[in-house]
């Protein structure tokens, strides 16, 4: 929840066991390298790819990095609503 504080208040975070999170991240092509959380200011290495997950939990879109912000802003409402 501390990490989510850097983003829009409407963003939702994903939590769970490390193995489950890794499986999910790999299944939607957004792999990451787990951090050493024993350090206070740790970082997580991850791709710049973006996956859109709808409110129903289904994958609505995948955007490969680098992200074109103008195009994303135009397409995002339709991806979220599923239309």
Please give the residue that has the higher pLDDT: either 68 or 39: 68
Query: With 90 as the cut, is the pLDDT of residue 78 above it?
Result: no
**pLDDT of res. 83:** 65
Between 36 and 17, the more confident residue is 17
Domain range for 14: 3-81
Q: Across-strand partners of 65? A: none
Number of domains in the chain: 1
Task: Report pLDDT digits (tens) over 24-44.
Answer: 989 988 888 877 878 888 777
What's residue 1's pLDDT? 60
Residue 81, Ramachandran bin (φ over 0: left; ψ between -120 and 50: alpha; else beta): alpha
* Helix, strand, coil in percent for the chain, rounding step 5: 35, 15, 50
Whether residue 20 has pLDDT greater than 90: yes
Quickly state the pLDDT bin for 4 (edges 50, 70, 90): confident
pTM of the model: 0.65
């Amino acid at each position: 929840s501390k990490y989510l504080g850097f983003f829009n208040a409407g963003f939702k975070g994903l939590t769970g066991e490390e193995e489950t999170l890794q499986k999910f991240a790999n299944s939607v092509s957004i792999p990451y390298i787990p951090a050493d959380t024993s350090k206070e200011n740790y970082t997580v290495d991850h791709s710049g790819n973006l996956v859109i997950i709808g409110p129903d939990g289904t994958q609505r879109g995948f955007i490969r990095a680098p992200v074109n912000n103008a195009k994303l802003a135009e397409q995002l409402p339709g991806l979220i609503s599923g239309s």
